[in-house]
Structure formats: structure tokens, C-alpha cells
């Protein structure tokens, strides 16, 4: 993308700040940064290092070539309508949103005004922008939309030293569900393990430290050789009595059954990976299909 591309950002949250910061350092000229809250928006402008903060739609200038829409998924429809309402003509301009779930079609009101539209989803977790901005190099971006918008998105990915891949609009919900399983659900799963450890008096900080090598090694093994070879433990061995005892112990410390249900649900997936005798597999499967809250104690 030519240096000096004028970029405005709508939604200066985790993704907007991080990409804004990186693109400002790669020759993009940040024009407007529009958020809902004045202070948060000013903080975002300070973080990005350039641009003009605004909180009202009528403050948004039309002096941009590329609009990055990084609002929360549920706000995209309304925000697209507001942008279209603000600008009677968007001829020659491009708008990209960063949602993994929505297709570019959610920006159709902008297309109706003449813009080319696309989606550019960074396949990365942006928890803390000051950390995330240092980890952008080499990440993948799912891209779809109008051909000119896709071409813009590719140039942007190159500027960010990332890698782009195509996705069809219909694939996005499943693609995004997979990303949630690999990211947010992993966080939820690990926190469940730490909550279980809390029941035996291990503080979360100590638990994170003690489990660090185990977690990293597991993830590295899965990424290197796949889950089937990486699977170890009672499900890989078919230790049915151990699994039954785990379920009972988990149900004992959590009467709502959440811990045991998480264990049983993922246990069913682990059974798919294990090479077990069919009889043993069926016996374990029977334990895992029962409601974990009604296990015999
Ligand atoms: N975080 C990630 O790891 C990640 C990774 C890849 C893609 N994404 C995608 O990127 C997008 C943004 O995610 P995020 O995590 O950066 O969200 P975020 O940190 O919650 O930031 C969202 C931003 O949008 C603004 N916003 C929300 N509703 C709005 C509205 N109705 N009008 C104007 N602005 C509004 C928020 O303003 P306030 O500050 O006032 O709430 C905030 O600045 C989402 O589509 C998400 O799926 C996120």
C-alpha cells in the first residue's frame, strides 16, 4: 500500500489501537479515531501516536482512503448504518472491518454509498495492546470482500508483515467458532483447572507457575504432531477407574457440576483421539454421557 494512505479508525479498542499503532509506524496517515467515550478515545490517540480523536459522527471527516471498523461484533450493523448516514458518497473509498464472525456484507450500507467493502480478521488474540503490538509479525489474517477491498487488505497485511488467506463469507461463523475454541475456550479451560486447584488450596499464581511447563509442552506437542499423538493421560491409556474417580472428586467440590461437566465434555473429545479397545472405549463413554451432577458418590 502506498505510503501516506489516509486511514480512519472506528472503534479504538484492543484491535483498533494495536493495528492503528502498527500502521502509523508503517507510513499510514491516521486521520480520525472515533470512539464512544472521550477519555478512552484520547487515550487511544495517545497510544497510536497520531490522529484526531472524536466521539460524534458529525465530527468524522471524509478525508480518508481506508476506514478500519474495529467495533464489537454486535455493534457493526448499527455503526455501518451511521457511517453511511454521515457520508452521502463514499466513491473511491474502502472500508474493512476486523470481525472474525461477520462477513463484509455487514458493511453493505457503505457499499450502497459507493465504497468497496471487505473484512480483515487478524487470527490473533489482542488482550493488552502494548503487548499485542509487538507480536503482530507473522500472524495470519482471514480476508474476504469486494476484489478491490481484498487487494487493499492484502497490501495492509504485507505492511503488517502478516500472511493473508481467503475465506468465503459462508465459512466465517464456523471459522470464528474454531478460533473461539482455540483461544477463549482455552483460557476458560485453564482457568477451570486453576479453580479446581484452588479447592486444594493452591493459589492461582502458584498454580500458573507450577502448571506453566505442562501447559506449554502440551500446546507445543499438539502444534507439532497433532492431538492424536500429543494425547497422554487416562484417556490415552483407557484408565476407566481413574476417570470415574476424577468425575466423582470434581462433583464433590462443585455441586453445580460445572467442573465435572467440562471434564466429561472434553473427555468425549479425548476419546476420539485415543486408540482403545472398543469395549473399554464404550465403558468410558457411558460414564461421560451421564449427567455429571448426578454421579454416584
Ligand atoms: N480482541 C481480540 O483478540 C480480537 C482478535 C481478532 C478480531 N477481533 C475483532 O475486532 C473487533 C473489535 O474487538 P476488540 O476486542 O478490539 O473490542 P474492544 O476492545 O471491546 O473495542 C471495541 C471498540 O468499539 C467501540 N464500540 C463499541 N460499540 C460501539 C458503537 N456502537 N459505536 C461506536 N463505537 C463502538 C468501543 O468503544 P467503548 O470503548 O466506548 O466501548 C471500543 O472502542 C471485533 O469485531 C472482534 O471480533 C478481536
**Which of 9, 14, 140, 175 best tests ligand 1's pocket when mutated (most atoms within 8 Å of CB)?**
14
Question: pLDDT value at position 3?
Answer: 63
Spacing, Cα 41 to ligand 1 middle (Å): 12
Question: Between the CA atoms of 137, 154, 168 and 272, what dihedral angle is there, to the nearest 10 degrees?
Answer: -20
Q: What mean pLDDT comes out for the span 266-280?
A: 96
Contacting residues for 128 by C-beta, under 8 A, at least 6 apart: 14
Question: 11-23, pLDDT tens digit by residue?
Answer: 999 999 999 999 9
Question: pLDDT value at position 294?
Answer: 57
For the chain, the residue count is: 297
Task: Label residue 181 by pLDDT band (50, 70, 90).
Answer: very high
Q: How far is CA 32 from the centre of its chain?
A: 25
Ligand 1 atom with the shortest distance to the CA of 101: 47
Q: What mean pLDDT comes out for the span 6-10?
A: 98
Cβ(9)–Cβ(16) under 8 Å?
A: yes
Residue of the CA atom closest to atom 45 of ligand 1: 99
Task: Label residue 293 by pLDDT band (50, 70, 90).
Answer: low
pTM: 0.94
- Domains recognised in the chain with CATH numbers: 6-169 (3.40.50.720), 182-294 (no CATH)
Question: 188-198, pLDDT tens digit by residue?
Answer: 999 999 999 99
Q: Is the pLDDT of residue 201 over 90?
A: yes
- How close are the terminal C-alpha atoms of the chain, in Å? 64
Question: 92-137, pLDDT tens digit by residue?
Answer: 999 999 999 999 999 999 999 999 999 999 999 999 999 999 999 9
- CA-nearest of 241, 208, 227, 204 to 274 is 227
Task: Label residue 297 by pLDDT band (50, 70, 90).
Answer: very low
Q: List 163's β-bridge partners, or say none.
A: 140
Order of strands across the sheet with 163-166? 52-54, 29-34, 6-10, 66-69, 94-97, 116-122, 140-145, 163-166
- CA 21 to CA 108: how far, in whole Å? 27
Question: pLDDT value at position 38?
Answer: 97
- Give the helix/strand (H/E) hosting 229: helix 227-230
Question: 220-235, pLDDT tens digit by residue?
Answer: 999 999 999 999 999 9
Q: Which three cell numbers stand for residue 187?
A: 483460557
Residue 201 phi, psi dihedral angles, 5° rounding: 90, 10
Burial class (CB in 10 A: 0-12, 13-18, 19+), 137: exposed
Q: Is the pLDDT of residue 296 over 90?
A: no
Question: pLDDT value at position 202?
Answer: 96
Q: Which three cell numbers stand for residue 293?
A: 451432577
Question: 22-39, pLDDT tens digit by residue?
Answer: 999 999 999 999 999 999
Question: pLDDT value at position 41?
Answer: 98
What SS3 state is found at 197? Answer: helix
Task: Label residue 292 by pLDDT band (50, 70, 90).
Answer: low
Using alpha carbons only, give the angle 182, 187, 191 rounded to the nearest 5 degrees. 145
Spacing, Cα 90 to ligand 1 middle (Å): 23
Spacing, Cα 246 to ligand 1 middle (Å): 39
Question: pLDDT value at position 291?
Answer: 60
Cβ(7)–Cβ(143) under 8 Å?
A: no
What SS3 state is found at 232? Answer: coil
User: Does residue 39 line the site of ligand 1, with CB under 6 A?
Assistant: no
Question: 45-74, pLDDT tens digit by residue?
Answer: 999 999 999 999 999 999 999 999 999 999
Spacing, Cα 80 to ligand 1 middle (Å): 14
Amino acid at each position: 500500500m502506498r505510503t501516506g494512505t489516509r486511514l480512519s479508525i472506528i472503534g479504538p479498542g484492543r484491535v483498533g489501537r494495536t493495528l492503528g499503532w502498527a500502521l502509523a509506524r508503517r507510513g499510514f496517515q491516521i486521520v480520525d479515531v472515533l470512539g464512544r467515550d472521550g477519555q478512552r478515545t484520547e487515550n487511544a490517540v495517545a497510544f497510536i501516536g497520531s490522529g484526531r480523536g472524536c466521539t460524534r459522527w458529525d465530527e468524522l471527516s471524509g478525508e480518508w482512503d481506508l476506514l478500519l471498523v474495529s467495533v464489537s461484533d454486535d455493534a457493526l450493523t448499527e455503526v455501518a448504518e451511521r457511517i453511511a448516514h454521515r457520508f452521502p458518497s463514499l466513491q473511491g473509498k474502502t472500508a474493512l472491518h476486523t470481525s472474525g464472525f461477520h462477513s463484509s456484507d455487514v458493511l453493505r450500507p457503505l457499499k450502497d454509498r459507493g465504497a468497496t467493502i471487505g473484512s480483515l480478521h487478524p487470527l490473533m488474540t489482542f488482550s493488552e495492546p502494548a503487548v499485542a503490538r509487538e507480536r503482530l509479525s507473522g500472524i495470519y489474517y482471514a480476508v474476504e470482500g469486494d476484489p478491490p477491498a481484498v487487494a487493499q487488505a492484502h497490501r495492509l497485511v504485507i505492511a503488517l508483515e502478516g500472511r493473508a488467506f481467503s475465506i468465503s463469507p459462508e465459512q466465517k461463523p464456523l471459522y470464528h467458532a474454531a478460533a473461539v475454541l482455540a483461544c477463549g475456550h482455552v483460557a476458560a479451560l485453564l482457568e477451570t483447572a486453576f479453580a479446581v486447584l484452588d479447592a486444594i488450596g493452591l493459589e492461582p499464581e502458584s498454580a500458573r507457575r507450577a502448571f506453566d511447563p505442562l501447559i506449554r509442552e502440551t500446546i507445543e506437542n499438539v502444534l507439532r504432531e497433532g492431538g492424536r499423538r500429543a494425547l497422554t493421560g487416562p484417556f490415552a491409556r483407557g484408565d476407566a477407574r481413574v476417570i470415574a474417580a476424577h468425575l466423582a472428586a470434581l462433583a464433590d467440590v462443585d455441586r453445580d457440576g460445572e467442573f465435572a461437566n467440562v471434564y466429561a465434555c472434553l473427555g468425549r473429545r479425548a476419546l476420539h483421539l485415543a486408540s482403545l479397545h472398543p469395549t473399554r472405549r464404550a465403558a468410558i463413554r457411558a460414564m461421560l454421557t451421564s449427567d455429571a451432577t448426578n454421579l454416584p458418590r
